[in-house]
């Protein structure tokens, strides 16, 4: 038997992910691009519906208020996605609502000055205005860090070893939104998960007129099949005598979105009235802005790989964070009950469809804006049970996490130093937030529980985020443990050429601003 050659048991590192049908600046035919854009729009509905559905009733709002918030959030998602793909990082990323803002928003809803308001509608409007004021002030953090290039300077301390846990946990850290939610209605969640895997992986080579229709639209086909199945179960009375929570998770007629939605409604700034401002609320909200900054940083790097682009240079990354800050400001002005961050599930869909085209994401932004104004039609799609989305998340979040792990190819994983940093960061990045979640469920408040509510919200928000915890641990360890002697092991020789815009000739192809705007904003 001939000896095995080294090249037969190892794979050379690759700057750009191979196997994609369309990369960031190549575009599918218009018909295919529009259909893929609609698929991304459907996926973005999950978070856009879930956040208002949870928060609006807590604030005293009714179904009509919930529909208006969903429409507003979708509208701003579309606007922010266009801004990010045109002037930000220019990566094919959907900018959606963020769960990172939940802790301070819930804290505001429990503020004694608001809970004592007896009229539910007045309490809803007062709470909304308080949330708006806090988000408007907090948005300044990302605007300043981004456009001043401070975040670009900070990112120069990142290395492949330090970023692997951060990117991986943007996916793995969302495990509680996956199968635990699927388990709330297994009769539609499990079929959705199985069908999506079968269509996207086992039947991906099925073609119609030489077009891989099943692979491209695996998620859309599976959602249509399971949604119809769920509707049959609902119409047949399968859930008539089941507990209320089961009905909420399984039935297709429990959201009350279609009946409450107006035919046409265009969101506008300050539609809920003038925002109110409170220093404590604003400071607590700043923690959420920091968390969304870190999560989006990891997601941008994952999206670049799934779009077959080079890692975004610090200048481009900082520019993207600045525009995300503008997006959070718009969230506050319009009143969406959430800030903004990169939609992790939509990043995963780039890999599932093997289409990383920027144009597809811009088309999906157009769908968001269009259907947010046509209330009845948008509400129809938004009535998809959230369990169906959770089944899709099980696949897409895992795909994004694996992209983070793929950066290990540029490092020496025979180094005990690197193994220590990677393992400890990944473990604590999952373990610490889980401790904070468990503590909060049992004690009805976070581990940080002092007389200063803003301080509690700040710490609890920071340590509930897996990517945030991972970044603090991995970047600290990577820049303090034998950092001078281990540059090659850390992957810095490969990473160095992406530290400046002109370090790699491909950066100009992927990240140059449109309309020749680089004349006015020259990259560094």
Q: What is the pLDDT of residues 71-122, one digit of tens each?
A: 999 999 999 999 999 999 999 999 999 999 999 999 999 988 999 999 999 9
Tell me, what's the pLDDT at 408? 93
pLDDT interval class at 452 (50, 70, 90): confident
pLDDT score of 168 more than 60: yes
- Model confidence over 27-64: pLDDT tens digits? 999 999 999 999 999 999 989 989 998 999 999 998 88
Residue-level pLDDT at 2? 65
* Dihedral sign computed on CA atoms, order 420, 295, 485, 489: positive
pLDDT per position as a tens digit, 274-323: 999 999 999 999 999 999 999 999 999 999 999 999 899 999 999 999 99
Q: What angle do CA 22, 94, 60 make, to 5 degrees?
A: 155
- The answer on pLDDT for 235 being more than 70 is yes
Q: What does pTM read for this prediction?
A: 0.94
pLDDT above 90 for 166: yes
Q: Given this model, what pLDDT does residue 7 score?
A: 62
pLDDT of residue 518 exceeding 80, the answer is no
Residue 318's pLDDT is what?
94
Q: Which of 20, 18, 25, 16 shows the shortest CA–CA distance to 352?
A: 20
At residue 212's C-alpha, the angle toward residues 46 and 223, to 5°, is: 25
**Predicted local distance difference test score (pLDDT) of residue 9:** 67
Q: Which of 118-132, 319-333, 504-518 has the lowest mean pLDDT?
A: 504-518
pLDDT at 1 over 70: no
What mean pLDDT comes out for the span 414-432?
96
Query: What pLDDT does 485 receive?
Result: 84
Q: By the 8 A CB rule, do 232 and 251 touch?
A: no
pLDDT of residue 204 exceeding 90: no
Whether the predicted pLDDT of 216 surpasses 60: yes
pLDDT at 18 over 90: no
| Stretch 383-404: mean pLDDT | 93
Q: What integer pLDDT is reported at residue 154 of this predicted model?
A: 92
Q: Which whole number is the average pLDDT over 158-166?
A: 94
pLDDT of residue 354: 93
The percent of residues in the chain predicted with pLDDT above 70, rounded, is 97
Place of tokens 């529009």: 34
202, exposed or middle or buried, with CB in 10 Å at 0-12, 13-18, 19+? exposed
Mean of pLDDT values over 345-358: 95
- Decide if pLDDT at 11 tops 70: yes
Q: Is the pLDDT of residue 502 over 80?
A: no
If you write DSSP's letter for every residue of 197-237 in order, what string do you get? HIIIIITTT--BTTB-HHHHTHHHHHHHHHHHHHHHHHHTT
**Alpha-carbon torsion (298, 302, 307, 310), positive or negative:** positive
Q: Which secondary structure element, helix H or strand E, spans residue 97, and what is its range?
A: strand 95-97
> What's the rounded mean pLDDT across residues 231-257?
82
Name the average pLDDT for the chain: 90
| pLDDT score recorded for residue 512 | 86
With 70 as the cut, is the pLDDT of residue 263 above it? yes
CA distance 241 to 9: 58
Q: What is the pLDDT of residue 121?
A: 94
Q: Is the pLDDT of residue 444 over 90?
A: no
pLDDT for 247 equals 82
Domain limits of the chain?
A: 30-497
Positive or negative CA dihedral for 88, 51, 434, 106? positive
Q: What is each CA distance from 300 to 25, 120, 216, 512, in whole angstroms?
A: 16, 40, 22, 16
For residue 278, the model assigns a pLDDT of 92
> pLDDT confidence of 139, banded at 50, 70, 90?
very high
């Amino acid at each position: 038997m001939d000896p095995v050659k080294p090249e037969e048991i190892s794979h050379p590192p690759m700057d750009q992910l191979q196997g994609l049908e369309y990369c960031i600046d190549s575009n599918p035919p218009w018909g295919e691009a529009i259909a893929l854009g609609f698929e991304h729009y459907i996926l973005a509905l999950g978070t856009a519906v879930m956040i208002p559905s949870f928060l609006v009733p807590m604030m005293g709002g009714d179904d009509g208020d919930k529909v208006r918030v969903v429409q507003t959030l979708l509208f701003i998602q579309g606007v922010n996605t266009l801004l990010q793909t045109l002037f930000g990082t220019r990566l094919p990323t959907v900018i959606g609502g963020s769960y990172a803002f939940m802790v301070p928003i819930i804290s505001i809803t429990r503020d004694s000055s608001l809970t004592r308001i007896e009229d539910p509608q007045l309490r809803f409007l007062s709470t909304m205005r308080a949330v708006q004021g806090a988000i408007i002030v907090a948005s300044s953090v990302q605007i300043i860090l981004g456009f001043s290039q401070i975040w670009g300077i900070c990112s120069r301390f990142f290395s492949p070893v330090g970023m692997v846990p951060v990117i991986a946990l943007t996916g793995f850290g969302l495990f509680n939104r996956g199968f635990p939610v699927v388990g709330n209605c297994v009769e539609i969640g499990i079929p959705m998960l199985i069908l999506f895997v079968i269509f996207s992986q086992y039947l991906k080579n099925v073609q119609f007129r030489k077009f891989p229709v099943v692979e491209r639209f695996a998620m859309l086909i599976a959602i249509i099949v399971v949604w119809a199945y769920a509707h049959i179960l609902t119409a047949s009375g399968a859930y008539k005598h089941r507990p209320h929570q089961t009905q909420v998770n399984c039935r297709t007629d429990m959201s009350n979105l279609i009946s409450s939605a107006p035919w046409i409604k265009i969101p506008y700034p300050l539609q809920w009235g003038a925002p109110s401002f409170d220093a404590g609320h604003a400071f607590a909200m700043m923690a959420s802005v920091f968390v969304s900054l870190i999560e989006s940083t990891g997601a941008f790097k994952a999206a670049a790989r799934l779009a077959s682009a080079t890692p975004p240079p610090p200048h481009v990354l900082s520019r993207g964070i600045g525009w995300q800050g503008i997006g959070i400001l718009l969230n506050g002005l319009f009143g969406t009950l959430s800030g903004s961050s990169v939609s992790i599930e939509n990043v995963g869909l780039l890999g599932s469809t093997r289409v990383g085209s920027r144009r597809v994401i811009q088309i999906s932004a157009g769908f968001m804006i269009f259907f947010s104004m046509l209330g009845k039609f948008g509400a129809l799609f938004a009535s998809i049970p959230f369990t169906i989305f959770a089944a899709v998340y099980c696949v897409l979040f895992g795909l994004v996490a694996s992209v983070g792990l793929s950066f290990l190819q540029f490092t020496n994983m025979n180094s005990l130093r690197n193994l220590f940093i990677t393992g400890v960061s990944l473990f604590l990045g999952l373990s610490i937030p889980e401790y904070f979640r468990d503590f909060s469920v049992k004690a009805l408040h976070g581990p940080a529980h002092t007389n200063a509510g803003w301080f509690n919200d700040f710490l609890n928000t920071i340590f509930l985020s897996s990517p945030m915890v991972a970044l603090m641990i991995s970047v600290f360890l990577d820049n303090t443990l034998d950092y001078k002697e281990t540059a090659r092991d850390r992957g810095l020789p490969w990473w160095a050429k992406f530290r400046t815009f002109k370090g790699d000739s491909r950066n100009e192809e992927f990240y140059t601003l449109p309309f020749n705007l680089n004349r006015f904003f020259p990259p560094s």
